[in-house]
Amino acid sequence: MDEKEIHLRDYIKVILKRKNTVITFFVVVFVVVLIGTISTTPLYKATNKIVIEKTDPGVFIGNYGYTHHDPQFQETQYQLIKSVAVSRKVVDMLNLETTYDTYINNKHRLLPSITDITGSFSSLLSFLLGTKKITEEETDSSKADMIAKIINEDIVVKPVRNSKMVEISYISTNPELSRLIANTVAQAYIETVLDLNMSSVRYGIDWMTKKAQEEKQKIEKSEEVLQRYVKSHNFVTIENKLAIVPQQISELNSMLTRAELKKKEIENLYNKVKDISDKSGEAETITAIATEPTLQSLRQQIIKSEQNIKELSQKYGHKHPLMLKAVEELNLLKAKRDQEIKRIVESIRHEYELSKENETTLRKRLAEMKREAIGLNEKMMEYNIINREVETNKQIYDALLKKINEQGVIEQSKPVNIMIVEKAEMPKSPFKPKKAMNLLLGIIVGIFGGIGLAFFVEYLDNTIKSPEDAESKLDVPVMGVIPLIASADKPIETLLLDEHSSAFAESYKAIRTAIILSSAERPPRRILITSSAPGEGKTVTSINLATAIAQSGYKVILIDCDMRKPRIHKVFEFDNSKGLSTYLAGASDANILKESPMSGLGIITSGPIPPNPSELLSSKRMSEILDYYGERYDFIICDSPPVLTVADSLILSKLLDGIILITRADMTTYENAKKCIKSLASVNASLLGIGINALDIKKGGYSSYYYSYHYGSAGEDKGKN
């Protein structure tokens, strides 16, 4: 099913339908606003403007971490203006302890908070009700504090956008008081800022002065410790040694290195010559021995002696005296050579021993110098520690002195630059209430709030309200609409018997026409009238619809199939001792028809209430009686129980040609209607459509709709289709 397009007229229809809700809401809101506006005490608002700017610390202090844009600074100043301390200063500056009541003309009462009230419960109740003013018995300080709290509640601080300007306002019932307090708050705020700055600076100076004295004492003590240390350790000598010892250690390292090398060389030489003292031939192969001048001279002499012997041996025999003398000289020279070799070896040994001893001596000396250097370093470290403590204490002391001097400069300056740009003037008209604005808002809120409430109520109302909505949501045609009759002189069930041209009568004629024209070949002749729940008008519809059809010249029989709560016999005042139930139970024959006051309309009452209506309706005799009277009458109208209550209507729906589901406007919900339609569809019943009963045409704005129904059904009282 396509979604229905919503038009402006649909909204207007809802508003017209719920106009009582709209009017009621509007009247209530407007009256409340009017009473509130009239009863509200006029309040006057005075405003001054000041500039709040963060002061540059300047070159004396340094600009470390300073920034002009500081949201926290601005918010802090706003809270300071709103502080009780500023309000208390205002009270003192204006002497409001004695003059406050004269400004408020005995109308403004002091309403202290519960935590500030002491005394009996009656006294507390008097304060809260505003029937008690501050009495002379209360102390001046408590009265001033209460006034300060009242003033504080009415101070308004508002920053001006994109500027450093701030508006300070005060709201009061007295215009003169609002002007005085607004201007005085600015002065009190300036003095409070200066007082806070002075107290903070003085506290800082006092603390730093005390700390500087402590640091000065620490310097003196640390200097005494340093002096004693220098004196006890003869630190002048230590400083000299610290300059010499590293040089000596370096020289000893060089000497030790050279000594080790020399010892190694001599040791190698000694290891070669120590075992060859008797082997002159091998000894002479060693460079250190062979290069000895004395040995070289002896070697030359030996060579000459050997040459001399060789020459003499050519001339003389070996026993010749010259030969013997030459041999003796040669032996003497060799002996000297061997002795010289031994002497050289011995000198090498002595030199080796000396190099070893020299190395050992240098090594011991180097170790002693290192131990001495370590000792000097330890003493120097102790000295540096003590000296560093002295220097640290001096730096702290100097920093404190510098800060004290800076604070002295700050004490003469202002941390916040505050200027009063515009003083508050006497307000000429009340700030609140704004009567014209309030009444206008009351009208707007009343109208739109009422409309909104009307749509909200309409949204929550899920009952059938119009034929358009019913056809759209149920997807079932509307056979007709019966208007609501608030009051009638005659019973509504038989109203058509006496009134043939009323709107009520025309609505049933419209249903009659819809039934007759529902089929081009053969209209439904056996029609079941039912509803979803009791009280929706199915019996009224059954009687009046049967009457409307009979008025057209058709023969109609009306059967009361509701054997649980029958009403038709009561409407026509018939005896109900015999009827449909007695026939279906076999207690009587088919001659149970009763004539109505109108010609062409026969009625069969329900008869006594049986214990098993459903079984009787589903019996063969029910089908037989319908066939019997169906041959003799043009239409059969059956009134049956509600669909959602019992199964009687579902049983009858199989025996009849069509069903009309009666709903009651503003009572039958769409959920119940959908359940009925679904139940009827489950048994393949032929649902002709629905009828909407008791629709208030004035409330819903459907006058033109029903006029069309009335016009369309005129002239159809006689004749058959």
CB count, 10 Å around CB of 377? 12
Q: Which two tokens stand for residue 657?
A: 């040609």
User: In the chain, what percentage of residues exceed pLDDT 90?
Assistant: 26
In 3D, which of 548, 539, 565, 489 has the Cα closest to residue 660? 539
Answer whether 466's CB lies under 8 Å from 700's CB: yes
Better-predicted residue by pLDDT, 411 or 685: 685
- pLDDT at residue number 413: 53
- pLDDT at residue number 154: 87
Which of 204-218, 275-289, 643-657 bottoms out in mean pLDDT, i.e. has the lowest? 275-289
Confidence of residue 407 (pLDDT cuts 50, 70, 90): low
The label of the residue with tokens 């400083």 reads 239
Alpha helices, H only, 157-292:
175-232, 235-273, 280-283, 287-290
Residues 6+ apart with CB under 8 A from 498: 490
CB count, 10 Å around CB of 294? 12
- What are 573-625's pLDDT values in tens digits? 999 999 999 999 998 887 899 988 888 999 999 999 999 999 999 999 999 99
Q: Kindly state the helix (H) or strand (E) to which residue 557 belongs, with its residue range.
A: strand 556-560
Dihedrals phi, psi of 602, to nearest 5 degrees: -100, 150
Instruction: Map out the domains of the chain as residue ranges.
Output: 8-40+433-460, 235-411, 475-710
Class of domain 475-710: alpha beta
Q: What is the 8-class DSSP label of residue 713?
A: T
In 3D, which of 483, 700, 703, 665 has the Cα closest to residue 13? 700
Confidence of residue 534 (pLDDT cuts 50, 70, 90): very high
Amino acid at 64: Y
Q: Indicate the pairing of strand 478-483 with strand 687-695.
A: parallel
3-state secondary structure of 158: strand
CB count, 10 Å around CB of 217? 12
- pLDDT at residue number 528: 96
Which of 40-49, 405-414, 423-432 bottoms out in mean pLDDT, i.e. has the lowest? 405-414
Confidence of residue 549 (pLDDT cuts 50, 70, 90): very high
Q: Mean pLDDT, to the nearest integer, of 218-230?
A: 75
- Distances in Å between the Cα of 291 and the Cα atoms of 298, 333, 338 are 12, 18, 15
Whether the bond into 293 is cis, omega within 30 of 0: no
Better-predicted residue by pLDDT, 683 or 708: 683
Q: How far apart are CA 374 and CA 180, in angstroms?
A: 82
- pLDDT at residue number 138: 45
- pLDDT at residue number 415: 61
Amino acid at 501: S
Q: Among 130-144, 205-219, 459-473, name the most confident range.
A: 459-473
Q: Is the pLDDT of residue 136 over 70?
A: no
Handedness of CA 142, 146, 147, 151 (dihedral sign): positive
Q: Mean pLDDT, to the nearest integer, of 276-293?
A: 61
Q: Among 250-259, 312-321, 390-399, 534-543, name the most confident range.
A: 534-543
Cα atoms found within 13 Å of the Cα of residue 548, Cβ hemisphere only: 30
Q: Across 415-503, where does the E strand assignment appear?
A: 416-422, 478-483
- What are 356-395's pLDDT values in tens digits? 888 888 788 878 777 777 776 777 777 777 777 778 877 8
Q: Among 160-174, 276-290, 484-498, name the most confident range.
A: 160-174
- What are 175-217's pLDDT values in tens digits? 888 889 989 988 888 888 887 777 766 666 677 777 777 777 8
Confidence of residue 126 (pLDDT cuts 50, 70, 90): very low
Q: Among 8-17, 421-430, 498-507, 626-635, name the most confident range.
A: 626-635
Q: Is 466 exposed, middle or buried (0-12, 13-18, 19+ CB in 10 A)?
A: buried
Alpha helices, H only, 490-598:
495-498, 503-516, 538-551, 568-572, 580-584
Answer whether 561's CB lies under 8 Å from 639's CB: yes
CB count, 10 Å around CB of 118? 10
Which of 6-10, 113-117, 199-203, 272-276 bottoms out in mean pLDDT, i.e. has the lowest? 113-117
- pLDDT at residue number 409: 55
Q: Mean pLDDT, to the nearest integer, of 503-514?
A: 88
Confidence of residue 496 (pLDDT cuts 50, 70, 90): confident
Q: Is the pLDDT of residue 715 over 50?
A: no
User: In the chain, what percentage of residues exceed pLDDT 70?
Assistant: 79
- pLDDT at residue number 719: 32
Q: How far apart are CA 90 and CA 148, in angstroms?
A: 8
Q: Is the pLDDT of residue 265 over 80?
A: no
Q: What is the 8-class DSSP label of residue 714?
A: T
In 3D, which of 535, 525, 542, 524 has the Cα closest to residue 596? 542
Q: What is the 8-class DSSP label of residue 536?
A: S
Q: How far apart are CA 470 and CA 670, in angstroms?
A: 8
Q: Kindly state the helix (H) or strand (E) to which residue 46 belongs, with its residue range.
A: strand 44-54
Better-predicted residue by pLDDT, 241 or 317: 317
Q: Mean pLDDT, to the nearest integer, of 25-48?
A: 89
- pLDDT at residue number 341: 75
Q: How far apart are CA 222 and CA 204, in angstroms?
A: 26
Better-predicted residue by pLDDT, 554 or 54: 554
Answer whether 416's CB lies under 8 Å from 52's CB: yes
Dihedrals phi, psi of 560, to nearest 5 degrees: -90, 95
Q: How far apart are CA 602 and CA 633, in angstroms?
A: 9
Answer whether 661's CB lies under 8 Å from 532's CB: yes
- pLDDT at residue number 299: 75
In 3D, which of 612, 610, 624 has the Cα closest to residue 582? 610
Answer whether 245's CB lies under 8 Å from 376's CB: yes
Which strands make up the sheet holding 416-422, listed edge to edge?
155-159, 165-172, 44-54, 416-422
Confidence of residue 274 (pLDDT cuts 50, 70, 90): low
Which of 103-112, 557-566, 609-618 bottoms out in mean pLDDT, i.e. has the lowest? 103-112
The residues that bridge with 49 in the sheet, in sequence order, are 167, 422
Q: How far apart are CA 433 and CA 436, in angstroms?
A: 9
Which of 55-64, 95-104, 139-148 bottoms out in mean pLDDT, i.e. has the lowest? 55-64
The residues that bridge with 157 in the sheet, in sequence order, are 168
- The fold of the 235-411 domain, in CATH, is Helix Hairpins (1.10.287)
Alpha helices, H only, 284-413:
287-290, 293-315, 321-411
In 3D, which of 445, 348, 616, 433 has the Cα closest to residue 28? 445
Q: How far apart are CA 605 and CA 628, in angstroms?
A: 16
- pLDDT at residue number 302: 76
Q: Is the pLDDT of residue 227 over 70?
A: yes
Answer whether 595's CB lies under 8 Å from 602's CB: yes
Q: Among 165-174, 516-525, 652-661, name the most confident range.
A: 652-661
